Structure 1
């Protein structure tokens, strides 16, 4: 059985928080925090995704976001807010930004995208760790030693499998319009700089 993602909804409007929770309850393990203080008390290593309102009394979503990032918690954060994005978002540490009102499909879609990006991050980290080990052995061992090592052959196999997984995940990310546009923007900017 695949473990459901653990989502923390941080929303100061109880009816809206409860609606989001109802939408997600079949596909996610859901917790709700009705203000920033409750959010910081609830957030821990178990949380995969935070859906964070930006404008809340006392402790704003911006402050909650900064605190989560300072704690170096490995979770994805989507701002779900009525605040239209402005240039101040450039320096903010969120992973996605939705402007209210949002639909159930939009919420589920952003969760899927954030989970896929988390998968890609993990795959990429493992790929580079394996590639680093292979490069080190390639530099230190003779061709004959490399060919005769079962451990090295297993390493090459793992690296090939991980490369395919990284490529497949990247393809899936690029098939989603948001990421295609992002990559096009990156390519366009690099061409303009040359």
Structure 2
């Protein structure tokens, strides 16, 4: 992702809604809107940093677009912005964040900021935060009994536990010696200041 304003592709089949999202985001990023899955796949390239993707669209669904993005190993972050309430099927989906419509301007801007920050993390942290977002979403939408009965949710919790240990070990290694300062310099692209 570029250090300047991120390039955001809005994939929304309702033109008025796509135009509204673009207007909300024009001060924080470079938005472009398309209105179906086929045009989304044509528009996505290595210059797109973030995709705001509707799940339910005529023709090629948002789920199919997401699968193609991940199969092609494109480096963009993807937030589903949809009226579809989340279910346990989201555990296996390759998105980074999930917003249920209607969404506000503040929610979209916070999502862009959050995904931009996540892009600076390595793959391990990206996976951890994507899975943690899914867990928080399912925790708010599903009952305790539903979560306990779901094998997908159990796998999600297991994977999060493993990643949490790995992330803790990585952070511990960074904090030893000068690793943390070096990481901060790399992330901020600022030159080393003499002590």
Tell me, yes or no, whether TM beats 0.5. yes
Q: What is the root-mean-square deviation in Å for CA atoms of aligned residues?
A: 2.5
Question: Superposition pairs for residues 89-100 of structure 1, below 5 Å?
Answer: 89-100=90-101
- Measured against aligned partners, the alpha-carbon deviations of 1:68-112 in whole angstroms (never above 9, x if no partner) come to 001100010000000000011010000000000000000000111
Higher helix share: 1
Question: Superposition pairs for residues 1-194 of structure 1, below 5 Å?
Answer: 3-121=4-122, 159-164=179-184
Alpha-carbon distance change, 167 to 21 in structure 1, aligned in 2, over 3 angstroms: closer
**Alignment partners' CA distance in 2, 1:47 and 1:167:** 20
Contact 2:8 2:31 in 1 (8 A): yes
Higher CA-based Rg: 1
**Other structure's SS at 1:57 match:** coil
**Other structure's SS at 2:121 match:** helix
In the TM superposition, what is the alpha-carbon distance from 1:120 to its structure 2 partner?
A: 2.2
User: Higher relative contact order by CA 8 Å / sep ≥ 6: 1 or 2?
Assistant: 2
In the TM superposition, what is the alpha-carbon distance from 1:167 to its structure 2 partner?
A: 11
**Other structure's SS at 1:30 match:** strand
Number of residue pairs matched by the alignment: 135
In the TM superposition, what is the alpha-carbon distance from 1:121 to its structure 2 partner?
A: 2.5
- Measured against aligned partners, the alpha-carbon deviations of 1:28-87 in whole angstroms (never above 9, x if no partner) come to 111111000000000000000000000000100000000000110001000000000001
In the TM superposition, what is the alpha-carbon distance from 1:4 to its structure 2 partner?
A: 0.6
Contact 2:120 2:187 in 1 (8 A): no
**Structure 2 unaligned spans of 5+:** 126-176, 189-195
**Which runs of at least 4 in structure 1 moved beyond 3 Å after TM superposition?**
163-168
Contact 1:120 1:166 in 2 (8 A): no
**Alignment partners' CA distance in 2, 1:60 and 1:5:** 24
Alpha-carbon distance change, 160 to 53 in structure 1, aligned in 2, over 3 angstroms: closer
